[in-house]
Structure 1
Amino acid sequence: MAMLSPLPPRDGVGATRLHVPLHGEWPTISAYMVERFHHLESGELLARFDRGEIIARDGSAVPLDAPLGAQEFVWYYREPPVETDIPFDIDVLHEDRDLVVIDKPHFLPSTPGGKYLQSSALVRLRRLLGNDELTPIHRLDRATAGLLMFSARPSTRGAYQLLLQNRRVEKVYEAVSARPADLPAFPLVHRNHIVKERGHVCVRVDAAREPNSETLIELLSTDEQVVHTLLRPHTGKMHQLRVHLAALGMGILHDGFYPDLLPEAPDDFERPLQLLARELRFIDPLSGAEREFRTRRTLAFAP
């Protein structure tokens, strides 16, 4: 069971939980946090203790002189970063008491993280619908557009999460790639072993190991410059579709990760990653009804 936060969401953003070691060289919890967050100004961090903004599991404020070991977890609200506005709106395609489905635009992260808090699909949707219990059932990369599902209340969340865990949701994507010199014969199934290593933003392929990822790739259309494909992933490894197309010599247009990791650069809203979560199908675990959702978005560079 997930550990409940003693702090409610604020402006649609949940409080951050920090694990504090029970033993170590730090005399107090505040001393540990000063070292843990060495990139922050220590005076302001300590002032947050004085203001009662560092909270224990029971909802009480953690004193500045609380010794290490007094609390294993503390909660606090992140100071909001200066965010770059993502000038695209989410579209709510479906809403009932248990499930919400949206059409996420390119560039918008699914959940808060890093330099994005208010500019995330979760926070925007919580504020739009006035429901702080909304939680994503799955994720889309920030660069990917299309269908994203949210649980609307905790009591039925697990039933929908099990659908994903048991691979009972059919997902269909579209992509537009640079056309290779030799176009493969479609349809085709691509498999390989994808490894995600700590500290690396890209995954890698281990050719010596048995495949752990599989995608059915079908041709929709092509011209002299690009290939428009339909992708049906059987597994859901990180960056799987981007990796599989790159391995076939068909890297997705405007992908800064595959086949080559490019230097970080500001978002170019005129050149979104040409990957779209197009369809979702499943049997609803609560009603038994067939559910089918389809994006209203299109890929701008499709032939």
Structure 2
Amino acid sequence: MNQSVRAVHPSWVALPQQQTDKPTVLAFLLARFPAISESIWRQRIQQGKVHWQDGELITELTPYRPAQRVYYYREVVSEPHIPLQERILHQDAHSLLVFKPHFLPVTPGGSFVNECLVARLRARTGIDSIVPVHRLDRDTAGVMLMSVCAASRDAYHGLFRDRKIHKCYQALAPLTPALQRQVPQGWLSAPIGWTVKNRIERGEPGFTMRVVSGVPNSHSEIRLLAVKDDIGLFELQPITGKTHQLRLHMQSLGMPLLNDRYYPALQPLQADDFSRPLKLVACELRYHDPISGEPRHISCDGFAAELESGC
């Protein structure tokens, strides 16, 4: 554990245009981040760790400026080390395609400031403009698309916004008793499929999600590919992109993922067990690059070999 860790790169927050009841930047920060005490914010400001986009320092009396970005450095007393390595799979002037390992967050949050994918990639490449184009849970591994150039960033966001990108995941989960009686061992000559559509909303506590009644806002296509003992190898294609969607959709089928710490029951908070990762990996991205027009098909290993060796 490294003590008193400060983020190498600043985070930022945009000041809303319509805000009228916060006369100073400090007043806004106190309201926006209630979990951070006033004394900590004052200390950060006094130490020059809060500034405008152009580097001008913000003081405790600096007036609120609508629509401007405030930059600040996140700090934690100690930061866990993730002993797993990201990999760069493709790089060009506009984008990066990378493999994110299990347990590594994509962006700073909670106890993590520098032990995150974005910070590692910026340090490794020297490119400070790298940002993720989409989400991937800390517990999930797999292929991610990152934007390198601000001018072309919206074009890559458009791949997801307009559903012009194909995403494929693999997962391992215990089969229901009914499926265990129905399917043979090994690779299935005719995979069994499910179309899952339901409504997902924020749960309690707030970092979890839940399926509720109502108009569906999530959609996944799921197929069982192979079986070893009571464990199935599944292919999952998220049509929509709700938080924890695939984990909840597998749970709704009665087959929660192996080593899921959130579903079906939230496990007590404890240190990461790197020998027991969530058995979910984003194993494939396929799209036409919006800048060059070239086809991109990037993949990583799924769980086939692990299933065959006995999980």
Aligned partner of 2:187 in structure 1 is none
Aligned to 2:143: 147
For 1:75 and 1:179, the matched residues in 2 are separated by 48
Q: Name the CA distance, whole Å, in 2 between partners of 1:248 and 1:49.
A: 50
Match of residue 113, structure 1, among 101, 109, 112: 109
Aligned with 1:215 (options 206, 220, 224): 220
Query: What do you get for the CA RMSD once the two structures are aligned?
Result: 2.8
Q: Which has the larger displacement, 173-182 or 231-240?
A: 231-240
1:212-235 per-position Cα deviation (integer Å, ceiling 9, x unaligned): 222111122112221111111211
Cα shift at 1:81: 4.2
The amino acid of 1:61's aligned partner reads L
Q: 1:51 to 1:243 in 2, by over 3 A?
A: closer
Q: Deviations over 1:66-94 (max 9, x none)?
A: 4xx54456432222441110000001111
Query: Cα distance, 1:96 vs. partner?
Result: 0.8
The aligned residue for residue 7 of structure 1 is: none
State the Cα distance separating 1:154 from its structure 2 match: 0.9
72, 75, 87: which one pairs with 2:71? 75
2: CA distance between counterparts of 1:97 and 1:276? 27
Tell me the residue number matched to 2:198.
192
Amino acid at match of 2:136: L
Alpha-carbon separation, structure 1, partners of 2:51 and 2:277: 40
Instruction: Say if 2:97 and 2:145, in contact at 8 Å, map to a contact too.
Output: yes
Task: Note the 1:21-32 alignment, pairs <5 A.
Answer: 22-23=20-21, 30=26
Aligned residues: 289
Tell me the CA shift for residue 145 of structure 1.
0.5
Change (3 A) 1:33 1:131: closer
Structure 2: state its 5+ residue gaps: 1-6, 183-190
**CA 157–31 in structure 1, closer or farther in 2 if over 3 Å, else same:** closer
- The letter of the residue matching 1:95 is Q
> Alignment identity in percent?
35
Q: 1:201 aligns with which of 204, 207, 231?
A: 207
Matches of 2:42 and 2:123, distance apart in 1: 31
Give the CA deviation at 1:117: 1.2
1:38 & 1:240 partners in 2: Cα distance?
29
* Within-5 A mapping of 1:108-257: 108-183=104-179, 186-196=192-202, 200-207=206-213, 209-257=214-262
Distance change >3 Å, CA 299–CA 16, structure 1 → 2: farther
- Paired residues of 2:172 and 2:303 also in contact (CA < 8 A): no
The corresponding residue for 2:88 is 92
Cα 1:28–1:87 change in 2 (3 A) is same
CA–CA separation in structure 2 for the residues paired with 1:177 and 1:62: 51
CA distance in 1, matches of 2:158, 2:219: 20
**Cα 1:54–1:87 shift into 2, 3 Å:** same
Partner of 1:289: 294
Secondary structure of the structure 1 residue equivalent to 2:156? helix
Deviations along 1:36-78, whole A, 9 cap, x unmatched?
7676565554344334433246643233344xx5445643222
Flag the 1:55–1:174 CA change in 2: closer, same or farther, 3 A: same
Contact 2:132 2:146 in 1 (8 A): yes
Partners of 2:275 and 2:306 lie apart in 1 by: 11
Under a length normalisation based on structure 2, what TM-score does the superposition of the two structures give? 0.83
**For residues 32 and 168 of structure 1, what CA distance do their matches in structure 2 show?**
38
Counterpart mapping for 1:244-283 below 5 A: 244-283=249-288
Deviations 1:182-235 (A, max 9, x none): 11881221221112258622212123x232222111122112221111111211
Flag the structure with higher strand content. 2
Alpha carbons 1:22, 1:71 under 8 Å: kept: no
Q: How far apart, CA to CA, are the structure 2 residues paired with 1:200 and 1:44?
A: 24
Task: For 1:45 and 1:89, locate their aligned partners in 2 and report how far apart those are by CA, in whole Å.
Answer: 33
Aligned partner of residue 182 in structure 1, secondary structure: helix
Q: Counterpart of 1:55 in 2: which secondary structure?
A: strand
Structure 1 residues 201 and 218, CA gap change in structure 2 (3 angstroms): same
TM (norm. structure 1) is: 0.85
